[in-house]
A and B are shown apart, each in its own frame.
Chain A
Amino acid sequence: GAVVSQHPSWVICKSGTSVKIECRSLDFQATTMFWYRQFPKQSLMLMATSNEGSKATYEQGVEKDKFLINHASLTLSTLTVTSAHPEDSSFYICSARDDHRGPWIYEQYFGPGTRLTVT
């Protein structure tokens, strides 16, 4: 149980274009989803948190107009990188949590990640 998928697993796009990454919880309701960014050999950097049906809460320094997050249903969240530039190249990982699931309601389950390369 508690499986999270991401699509695509890797994507190459040209500078100036937009790319959408999907995150799905396959066997549970994701009341809260998180989007992270990870650079090689570094820790995870939280970009934003979203609750189903609400606007995402972005971390300080993350441009909300550049990284559009939509959490339209209890099983799907999307991250759109708009007008991508080479510096946006990174490993993007989502995680999901079911806030109604006891007793360990704090557990975050991670997707496999999406490698974005902007040329």
Chain B
Amino acid sequence: QQQVKQSPQSLIVQKGGISIINCAYENTAFDYFPWYQQFPGKGPALLIAIRPDVSEKKEGRFTISFNKSAKQFSLHIMDSQPGDSATYFCAASITGNNRKLIWGLGTSLAVNP
């Protein structure tokens, strides 16, 4: 019940295309869902996050779509660029237990020029 399942494991997109990464969870007590971007040899950087009272949140080219009934959330990267090539992690957390993050396994995104 503590798992966050992320798909696909890897993704190749053409420049200008839309990258879509999906995550699913079981624990309905999760109430915070961030997405992180990680470049090789670097720490993860917070991209965008959402709470379950909102169905969509957009920041620039990055959008989170949240489907509470389906217990799924996804990251959409519009107009994907080669500089977006990185590993993306979804995560979730719950009140209490120091609000530690439960992580997806990651998606390696490659944007071809």
Contact = CB atoms under 8 A, between A and B. Distances in A.
A111 B44 CA distance: 8
Interface in B33-86: 34, 36, 41-46, 49
Interface residues of A, number: 26
B100 A112 contact: no
Given A108-B101, A113-B41, A115-B41, A44 B46 contact: no
Interface of A: 4, 6, 32, 34, 41-44, 46, 49, 51, 57, 91, 93, 95, 97, 104, 106-113, 115
B98 A43 contact: no
Interface residues of B, number: 21
B105 interface: yes
A38 to B, nearest CB: 9
B89 A110 contact: no
B43 A112 contact: yes
B43 A46 contact: no
A6 to B, nearest CB: 8
B49 A107 contact: yes
A3 B105 CA distance: 25
B34 A110 contact: no
A3 B41 CA distance: 17
B43 A93 contact: yes
Contacts of B43: 4, 6, 93, 95, 110-113
A85 B34 CA distance: 34
A51 B101 CA distance: 16
Contact of A43 (B42, B45, B99, B104): B104
B42 A113 contact: yes
Given A43-B89, A44-B89, A49 B98 contact: yes
Contacts of B106: 41-43
Given A4-B43, A6-B43, A41-B108, 9 more contacts: A43-B104, A44-B44, A46-B101, A93-B44, A106-B32, A108-B46, A109-B46, A110-B44, A111-B43
